[in-house]
Amino acid sequence: MTPHAIQPLIEGVLEAVWLVDAIDLHVRGVNRAAEALFGLPRSQMLGRPVVDFASTSQDVFFWEDVAAGRSDNIYSETLVTRPDGSLVQIDRRVSKLAFSGGPAFYVVAMLDRSAQHRAEHELETIISELRATLESTADGILVLDMDGAIRGYNHRFAEMWDLPEMLLTKRDDQAVFAWMEQHVTDKDSYSQRIGQIDRSPLLEAQDLLVLRSGKVLDRVTLPQYARGRPIGRVFSFRDVTQRLADEARLKLAARVFESSIDAIFVANPRLDLIAANPAFQRMTGFADDEIEHLSSERFLAERESGKSFAQLQESLIEHDYWQGELWARRKSGEAYPCLLSLVRVPKSEAGDESYIGFFKDLTEAREAQRRIEELAYSDALTGLPNRVMLQERFQLAIAHAVRSKQSFATFFIDLDRFKQINDSLGHAFGDRVLVEVAERLRLCLRQVDTAARLGGDEFILLLNKVDAVGAETAARRVLNALAEPIELDDMRFNLSCSIGIAMYPGDGTDMDELIKNADSAMYAVKERGRSDFRFYQRQMNIGLLARVKLDQALRQALKQGRLQLHYQPKVDLNSGQVVGVEALARWHDEEYGNVLPARFIPVAEESGAIVPLGAWVLDQAVTQAGAWRKAGLLLPVAINISAVEFNQSGFVKLVAEALERHQVPGECLELELTESILVVDANEAMARLKSLRELGVRLSIDDFGTGYSSLAYLKRFPVERLKIDQSFVADIPGDQEDEAIAVAVIELGRALKLRVTAEGVENQAQLDFLKQRGCTEGQGFHFSKALPAPELTARFAKQLVKV
């Protein structure tokens, strides 16, 4: 069933609905409710990737989950951005819809929840404000209703009464009241007073409670009113033991002052010392009788930032507190780094205000920190920052970008074919190359930028305060720098790299996301030939996940035997006889429906699955060719061979074993090769082609004219057939350029004594044109689509050549 067939079903649904292609995640169907929700006509939504409508980075991750097939039924809450910039909160559910024999779709149902969320938010705001008010008071609050049941209390109340965890997590009013009664020192008086309060709803009272913990609480009880009527009672508890606690802390402070290993001093408002502890004397070298009236400026040097001691005093007066690292001086004049904290003590009844100072000698700590940073923050081989330091640099870059509202760029750099250097020259030599690369990257950057090594031959560049134009300029500078020849040990060779670029904040808002997306962009460069750069696009991750998922499904289908071969006949245009067939893989998947080879073959070539797939196709094709031969039919079977398969070292042996295993002569098998296979390494290709011809296997050039089209290899290589690509056949007769190309290929085949097969023949006009120009063979829908072997044998029984 197609999206057009499903459209009437979704049109009357009140919810907004999309139909999304299960493979490429493009919108294929939209109802009226979706147009209203998005504020867009369906013409502006149909055919677009769903990720184009993502309003948040979480939304992109959601579609990545869908692309990865983590569930067939996914529910989420998200936002929709309308053309006017307004945001709509929605509930969204994605469900898989598949029909037998047809493609699969995702049904995306969306419900506008903005009004409900606004109401809920307003209610939550009111409740949270009331709760915040209750929690912000320094008093403990307990609220009861008119029946004496607990309506609520704040955390301060629980802290004062030391309520156990079980009473905080489980509602048990009587247990709370019992706990309170058990924790007062005068239980009888407490119970009598509580009874009196309970019997008098309008009573206002104030009592002093002494708890067994030593706390003294001032309790105030007041009736609670609503609309002029009492609705309950509020108890407030204030801890009045603070004065005793202050006295205890003062005694403790005196002991700490004397025994602390940190230097502590007390100074007057002019920062002249009044007293200092023994640790201060040991650290500074000043004796006990030299400390009183000693000026702080005498043992404190200027701060490292260049601010003077006078500025320190001004800051201390303004803020009552100062802390920082500075340089101090010992009595001998020796300077050393220290951490100083100064706190203002307010004026009391006993005298003037004063300041307390705490400081530590940081000499050993700084040296240790320097050694740690060398080990922890740098790459041992290149000296570049490692991932730990890179994380810090990213945090600084993000903070600056937020303040200045500027962007910055993240480069993911991978050296092209670096593994060959390690394999051929050794890892030690490869390490020297990496050191040279690191130095060149340093020279490409400004002081505000960062180059880091993740490991292996992968590098990260962080370019601050640049836009896309600046990033492009920097990328070209890096490409040119690394393309310069490298000379090591009298060896001179060239290197190149692939660069992926992600921009903050559009492509990510943290380091991991930016690096991941830059890596995706770099991967796209590798796919397209290396030695270049590319900016990240949001579709890359989803496209990558979709390819990975499709590759996994293909491997599983191959393992479970769910693929099959169909055969398209090749017809002699003069006699009308079927002179051969081309084997084409067909795959029907429960999730994806019918998957065309144009979709799964490129994925298989990219992932390497083309090798086991090709081996399966070869075995099946040879088996069928043998079956036709045993039935007395001469029907050679042609199969397409990819460059990945052909370049496998054991490819010729694989073909020979298949022919031997099924007792089939080589002339029953034809291998269709692309031009690119033959020109990458012509000498090695020639050796393999000769070995295949010795087996009797027929060879042809597929899609001739779309690649290199070099006449040199046609003369050298033992091929028997040229196939005119269907792109040149589709518009003939009528398109003069396509006509000229088709005729040129036919004439070339005739001159070189090669048979010529035209692909994609779909009508009589094309057939007549090709016959008139001397084309010998054709295949296409005009004759037949690809069919299962039994159906093809039955349909063309009178046109098949007998052995």
> Which class in CATH covers the domain with range 377-543?
alpha beta
Average confidence (pLDDT) over 763-769: 93
Reported as a pLDDT band with limits 50, 70 and 90, residue 789 is: very high
Q: Give the mean pLDDT of 266-270.
A: 83
Query: What is the band of 299 on the pLDDT scale with cuts at 50, 70, 90?
Result: confident
Task: Specify the fold of 563-799.
Answer: TIM Barrel (3.20.20)
Listed by start position, the domains of the chain span 3-118, 137-240, 271-365, 377-543, 563-799
Evaluate if residue 9 carries a pLDDT over 90.
no
Give the integer Cα–Cα distance in Å for 751 and 744.
10
Name residues whose C-beta falls within 8 Å of residue 416's C-beta, 6 or more positions apart in sequence.
495, 496, 497, 498, 526, 530, 531
Q: Between 217 and 617, where is the model more confident?
A: 617
Separation between Cα atoms, residue 69 and residue 65, nearest integer Å? 6
Q: Which fold has domain 271-365?
A: Beta-Lactamase (3.30.450)
Q: Is residue 467's pLDDT more than 60? A: yes
202's tokens = 């309008």
765: left (phi over 0), alpha (psi -120 to 50) or beta: alpha
Nearest alpha carbon to residue 46 among 55, 64, 34, 59: 34
**Amino acid at position 729, single letter:** V
Cβ neighbors of 767 (< 8 A, separation 6 or more) are 573, 761, 778, 782
Q: Phi first, then psi: give them for residue 409, nearest 5 degrees.
A: -115, 145
Residues near 268 by beta carbon (within 8 Å), at least 6 away in sequence: 274, 352, 354, 355
Confidence class for position 184, pLDDT limits 50, 70, 90: confident
Query: Looking at per-residue confidence, does 697 or 97 come out higher?
Result: 697
For the segment(s) 137-240, the CATH number from 3.40.470.10, 1.10.760.10, 2.60.40.420, 3.30.450.20 is 3.30.450.20
In whole angstroms, what is the distance from residue 228 CA to residue 205 CA?
20
- Orientation angle between helical segments 597-607 and 539-559, nearest 10 degrees: 90
Given a cut of 80, whether residue 125 has pLDDT beyond it is no
Average pLDDT over residues 714-739: 87
CA angle 137, 142, 145 (to 5 degrees): 135
Residue 637 has pLDDT above 70, yes or no: yes
Residue 190 has pLDDT above 90, yes or no: no
Span of 100-104, 207-211, 361-365, 540-544 with lowest mean pLDDT: 540-544
Do 137-240 and 271-365 show the same overall fold? Answer: yes
Residue 102 · residue 6 · CB < 8 Å: no
Q: Is residue 305 pLDDT above 90, yes or no?
A: no
pLDDT band for 303, please (50, 70, 90 cuts): very low
ω into residue 733 within 30 of 0, thus cis? yes
Q: Higher confidence at residue 167 or residue 119?
A: 167
Measure the CA–CA gap between 501 and 517, rounded to whole angstroms: 8
pLDDT at residue 709 greater than cutoff 60: no
pLDDT at position 757 over 90: yes
Higher pLDDT, 529 or 253: 529
- What span, in angstroms and rounded, lies between the C-alpha atoms of 274 and 360? 19
Question: So what's the pLDDT on residue 300?
Answer: 75
pLDDT at position 764, please? 93
At position 291, the amino acid (one-letter code) is: I
pLDDT category at 647 given cuts 50, 70, 90 is confident
Would you say residue 452 has pLDDT above 50?
yes
User: What percent of the chain has a predicted confidence (pLDDT) above 70?
Assistant: 91
Query: What pLDDT does 17 receive?
Result: 93
Q: How confident is the model at residue 396 (pLDDT cuts 50, 70, 90)?
A: very high
| Amino acid, single-letter form, for residue 606 | E
More confident residue, 713 or 489: 489
Whether the predicted pLDDT of 680 surpasses 60: no
Q: For 92-96, 429-433, 682-686, which range has the lowest pLDDT when averaged over its residues? A: 682-686
Looking at every residue in the chain, the average pLDDT score rounds to: 85
Half-sphere exposure of residue 670, counting CA atoms within 13 Å on the CB side? 21
Q: Supply the pLDDT for residue 678.
A: 65
Neighbours of 604 (CB within 10 A): 23
Contact of 486 with 436, CB cutoff 8 Å: yes
Just give the CATH number of 3-118. 3.30.450.20
Is pLDDT of 705 > 80? no
pLDDT of 152 reads 84
Write the single-letter amino acid at 140: G
End-to-end CA distance of the chain: 44
Cα torsion angle, 585, 586, 592, 594, sign: positive
Q: Kindly report the number of other CB atoms within 10 A of residue 627's CB atom.
A: 15
> What is the pLDDT, as a whole number, of residue 340?
83
Per-residue confidence (pLDDT) for residue 682, from 0 to 100:
66
Query: Which strands sit side by side in the sheet containing 16-21, from one edge to the other?
Result: 27-30, 16-21, 104-112, 87-98, 73-81
For residue 538, pLDDT over 80 is answered with no
Residue-level pLDDT at 306: 44
The mean pLDDT value for 177-188 works out to 88
* Confidence band of 443 (pLDDT split at 50, 70, 90): very high
Across the range 618-626, mean pLDDT stands at: 95
Q: Is 248 a residue whose pLDDT tops 70?
A: no
Report the C-alpha gap between 276 and 258 in whole angstroms. 9
Q: What pLDDT was estimated at residue 782? A: 93
pLDDT of 579 reads 93
